[in-house]
Amino acid sequence: MRRAIFPGSFDPLTLGHHDIIIRGIPLFDELIIAVGVNVDKKYMFTLEQRLGFISKAFENEPKIKVLTYEGLTVDFCEKVNANFILRGLRNPADFEFEKAIAHTNRKLSEIETVFLLTSSGKSYISSSIVRDVIRNGGDYSGLVPETVRTN
């Protein structure tokens, strides 16, 4: 079975994340959206909210599972028997950062990282930008899926 995880904090889930997930579904038998928990990080949305955004957005997709994890992503991959890590790339800076992580993960385990480029119309969207728009009362409806807008 080709099982992949798509790790992130998803604070919140954006249309960029959604794009990578939708395009990743046909590549794998199962895609686990792995919501990382970092006790040192301040989140705008609670873990329950973030899980709700994702679960609701993909409730009709049987190949998607939503789980949480702490610690190293490669350890979580081993725990859930995932063979792949799916990552999205928006720009050259993302590539350099993600390449270093992929090389490190490969050094620590046998896990392969699969990169997908975000669709051109979504490549500018990041969770940090969305949080800034929300904090400042801006219209973020074109940046996130419906499940985030209705919360």
Q: Angle at CA 28, nearest 5°, toward 23 and 34?
A: 80
Cα 98 to Cα 51, 93, 95: the distances in Å are 24, 9, 5
The one-letter code for the residue type at 60 is N
Tokens of 98: 């993600």
Query: Pick the catalytic residue: 18, 50, 87, 127?
Result: 127
Tokens of 14: 């954006």
CA 142 to CA 146: how far, in whole Å? 9
Which stretches of 80-133 are assigned E, i.e. beta strand? 84-89, 112-117
| CA dihedral (110, 27, 65, 133) positive or negative | positive
Catalytic: 41? yes
Task: Find the catalytic residue in 3, 63, 90, 131.
Answer: 90
User: Would you call 127 a catalytic residue per the annotation?
Assistant: yes
Catalytic, 128? Answer: no
Give the active site residues.
17, 41, 90, 127
